[in-house]
Chain A
Amino acid sequence: MISVTNLSKSFRVHRKAPGFRSSVRSLFRRDWHEVQALKSVSLSVGAGEIVGIVGANGAGKTTLVKCLSGILHPTSGSATVLGHVPWEREDAFRSRIALIMGQKAQLWWDLPAADGFLLLREIYRIPEKQFRASLDELTAALQVEDRLTTQIRRLSLGERMKMELIAALLHSPRVVFLDEPTLGLDLTAQRAIREFLLRYREKHNPAMLLTSHYMEDIERLCQRIVIIRGGEIVYDGGLREVLDHYAPHKRLTVRWDEAGMDGLPEDILPAALGEITGTEPGVLHAKVPREKAAEAASWLLRRLPVADLNLEEEDVGSIIEALIRK
C-alpha cells in the first residue's frame, strides 16, 4: 500500500544571528544553508500493518509523513501510496488517505465539531447513511457524543484530539498517517486513543504509519518499527527483533538467603556465563548472554541458597532510546 524508494528531502533555511544588527543585515543579505531532512529512505508498508516511525526531534519523521501524505515534494526519489504519487495530490489519492497531526489542529477552530464533520462529509462526498454509521461508531468508541456541539477551541486537548481522529477516519481511509497522535495528552486519554486505534485497525484493516515520542504508543500499537536517525533509516524490522539485534543480553536478578554464608564467593559467576553488574546484601544483578541465560541460572541455583530468581528482557524502550541517540 505504501512503497518508498530512495526518498530524499532537503530544505533551504536561512540562519540569523540574534540581535538588532543582524536583523538589519538580514534584510539585505541572508545566509542560506541546506538541511538534509531525509536521506535516501526506502520502505514498504502493507494493509493492516501499523508501522512505528521512531526518532529524536528533527530526525525526519514528520518530513517523511508529510512527503507520503502529499504535503511536501521530495528533492529526489520516488514513492507510491495506493498506487498514486502522493505529491501529485490526485483526488482519488486524497480521498483514500488521512493525516492526523497531534501538534496541529486540522478541524476548523471556531466551529463545533459537528459542523466540521458535515463539511467533511461534503468534501469526501460520503453518502448520508455511511456518514451517520461512521460518525455514530467513532463518537461512541471515543465517548465524545455529548461534545459534538462545542466549538473546537473550547474543548480540552484530549477531546480535541479525539475529534481530530473522528474527522480523519469518517471517510474510512485505506492509509492513515498519524504524527504524534498522543502528544501532550494525559495517560487516560493516551490509553483511550491507543485502544481505539487497535480496534479500528482490527475492523478496517488500513495501513498505518505512526510517529510518536512515547515508547508505550510504539510498544502497544506496532509490531514493526522503523528507526530514523539524521534522516536515515537505521533499523526496519519487528519490534521484538530489536532485542535480538541490539540486546544480546538478558537481565538476571537473584535474591538469596545470606544466613550461614560469608559474602559471595569470588567465582560465583564465571565470565563465560555473564557479568555481575551490581550486588546488594542478599541480591545479585547480572547481565547474561541470551543463549547462556538458562545455563547461568542453573549454575547460580546450584551455588547459592536462592530464594528468588528473575530473568528479564532488557527494556525495549530504553534500547530504542539508545539507538535513536547513538
Chain B
Amino acid sequence: MNLPLFRRLFALEFKRAFAYRAEFWLGFLGNALTQVAVAYLLWSAVFASTGAHSLGGLTLRDLALYYLLVPLVERITLGAEMSHISGEIYDGTLNRYLVYPVSFFGFKYVTSLAQSLVYAAQMAALAGLCLWVFGVPPAFRFTPGGIALALAALMLGTVLYFSLAACLEMIAFWADNVWSLMVLLKMVLHFLGGGLLPLVLFPAGFRAVLELTPFPYLVSFPLRFLMQDITAAEAVRGFAVMGGWILGLSLLAGWIWRRGARQYAGVGI
C-alpha cells in the first residue's frame, strides 16, 4: 500500500461521508444520542431505587460519560460499515481488487478506517461538548500519557477487529451470506467487550477469562487509560494479548484467503 494511495482513499471516503449528508447526521444523532439517553435513564433508575452513590466505583456521571465514549470507541474499532468484505465476495465486486495491483485487505482496511474516523470526529465533538458543559466526572482523568495510550489501543483495536472480521467474512467464499454472523459478532462484542455493562460490574473470575479473548480490547480497554483504571503491568499484558491475537488472526486470514481465492467463482450480479 503506497502512501499517495492511502491519502487518496482517505480523501475519497471523507468526500463520500459528506456527500450523503442525511445519513451523516442521522447516524450521528440516531446512534449516539439514543444509546446515551437510554443508558442514562436506566442507570438513574437503578441509582434511585438502590439509593447507592456509586456502582463498582462509578458514579452516575461517570457512567454517563462511559456510555458516551463507548459508541465513539466502537465506531473507531468496529468500523462504520458491516459485511463489506463478504458483500464484495458475494456480488463479485472482489474481481476488481484481484485485477488491480493493490492489496485487497490494505484497501479495505484504509477505507474502513477513514469511514470510522469521520464518525469518530462527530462523536468526539459531542463528547467534548458534554465535558465542557458538565465537567469531568470523578473516575475520569485526561492526562497526555493516558490519551496517547488510549489512542494507541484504539489503533491496534482497528487492526484487531479488521483481522477478526475478515476471517469471519471470508466464510462468504463458501457460504453465500454471512450477514447474520456479523450481526451476532457485533452483539457478542458489545456485551463481552464492556459496551453494554462496564466490565468492572462482571465477576472477577469471568473478567480474568475475558481478558484473554479479543473482546475487551475492542471496547473497554482504550477507555481504561482515560479512567486511570489500569496498572502498568496490566497495560503491558493487554497490549501483548492484543498483539498475539492480531498476529494469529492475520495469519489465519491469509490462510483462509489463499484457500478461498482458489475456489472463488467471480460470479454475482
Contacts and interface: CB of A to CB of B under 8 A. Distances in A.
B19 A110 contact: yes
Contact of B99 (A11, A97, A118): A97
B8 A118 contact: yes
Contacts of A115: 12, 15
A73 B261 CA distance: 8
A124 B99 CA distance: 11
B254 to A, nearest CB: 14
B268 to A, nearest CB: 7
A8 to B, nearest CB: 15
Contacts of B96: 106
A146 to B, nearest CB: 20
B101 interface: yes
A119 interface: yes
Contact of B101 (A99, A104, A123): A123
Interface string A63-75: 0001001111100
B206 to A, nearest CB: 34
A136 B96 CA distance: 24
Given A73-B262, A110-B16, A91 B101 contact: yes
A98 B101 CA distance: 11
A291 B162 CA distance: 70
B60 interface: no
B50 interface: no
B99 A122 contact: no
Contact of A122 (B5, B92, B95, B263): B5
A123 B266 contact: no
Contacts of B145: none
Contacts of A91: 101
Contact of A71 (B5, B99, B102, B269): B99
B266 A72 contact: yes
Nearest to B262: A73
Contacts of A197: none
Nearest to B102: A123
B95 A106 contact: yes
A12 B100 CA distance: 27
B95 A119 contact: no
Contacts of B15: 111, 115
28 contacts: A66-B266, A69-B99, A70-B98, A71-B99, A71-B264, A73-B261, A73-B262, A89-B98, A91-B101, A94-B99, A97-B99, A98-B99, A99-B99, A101-B95, A104-B93, A104-B269, A106-B95, A110-B19, A111-B15, A111-B16, A119-B8, A119-B9, A120-B100, A122-B2, A122-B8, A123-B5, A124-B100, A125-B2
